[in-house]
Amino acid sequence: MVSRRELKKLAEQNGTPLFVVDHDQLRKNYATFKKYLPRVQAYYAVKANSDPAIVKTFYEAGCSFDVASMPEFKIVYQYIKDMPDKQRQDWIWDKIIYANPIKANETLQELNPYKPLVTYDNYEEIRKIKKYAPQAGLALRLKVPNTGAMVELSSKFGAAPGEAVDMILAADKVGLTVEGLSFHVGSQTTNFDNYVAALNLASNIFREAQGRGYNKMFLLDIGGGFPAPYDDGVRPFRELARTINRELDRLFPKKIQILAEPGRFLVATAATAVSKIIGKAVRDGKLCYYIDDGVYHTFSGVIFDHCHYHFKSFKRRGPTQVCSVFGPTCDALDVVSLVEQLPPDLKLGDLLYSENIGAYSHASSTYFNGFPPAKVIHINA
């Protein structure tokens, strides 16, 4: 990760707020994923951080991509648009999955010429895909347990296991090809049993489909959820990988292609936010620091991602106390943290930094209240 000295120097050179992305860490995270899950092809979830420079680094490293909108698709497509038609189409089929189960008709029409692989989870989507994107290949997304995930997804997406094969056969009946299954165990899943349950469920549906005469499925998308090491309570990735590898080897023959959609795991630890203290007050006996970044900007994950980002000061020694940290806007919602251990003698203009903030953060920055997003600095790109 970026050193404290380098962070401070970058802030002095560029001002604050800053969002510093270390591309060496991106490459390290991708290599770690490949090392511990050798059978699984990583499709980076672009929504985690759609900065084109990040996408470029993963593209050059050999990563595939999970996109959920046409703007995300086009961020990836810019790197392959100059390929010959056949090579480009092969790349799209093998390297991009459009993993949003619900798609607008206009989106399907725009996708159709690319002959994409798309997910679905309901009968209405079958009718839409048949009408507006008949060249697409399909993956049925299953509803699976999300117990203990930081962000639960199963209430919004996923076909019930009991109707999964009926839904596969319904797509086949209208001339669409279901290439495989997909699932998502919930974002930042520290409950590894979610993967065990989902993989066993998917295996059963593969067998049921074959038993009912459908033999065209050759891939399994095990989704995202791979946890970033935000704190010591997150067990090492290698332990999760050991569990997944065991179940994959036990349940799925080698001819089944396995892919995954890591987003947070690949990008979270690769970025650090640097902010400046712009205000200081004591309210009801509690010290409060106000910084030039907040939940409408880099710290948006506090609101919608249920994430708690911690702060560090550049002051190395001395006592600390529990403080609140607020963002710069006039909105009372702009509360970054109510429980931070920080030195009580920090002054206006002093800097704070927050590590492991690469995922679901700057990607959602706004211009609320007229405050612009943090400046993005790429190092080792």
Q: Where are the alpha helices (DSSP H) in 65-104?
A: 70-77, 85-95
Centroid of chain to Cα 45: 5
- Give the number of C-alpha atoms closer than 13 A to the C-alpha of residue 138, restricted to the C-beta side: 31
Q: Which of 63, 288, 307, 330 is catalytic?
A: 330
Backbone angles phi, psi at 378, to 5 degrees: -105, 130
Relative to beta strand 321-326, strand 286-291 is parallel
Q: 323 catalytic, yes or no?
A: no
User: Are 171 and 210 in contact, with CB atoms under 8 Å apart?
Assistant: no
- The SS3 assignment for 306 reads coil
Q: Hey, CA dihedral for 213, 219, 222, 223, is it positive or negative? A: negative
CA distance 90 to 99: 18
Q: Hey, CA dihedral for 243, 248, 249, 254, is it positive or negative? A: negative
Relative to beta strand 149-151, strand 187-189 is antiparallel
Q: Which residues are catalytic?
A: 330
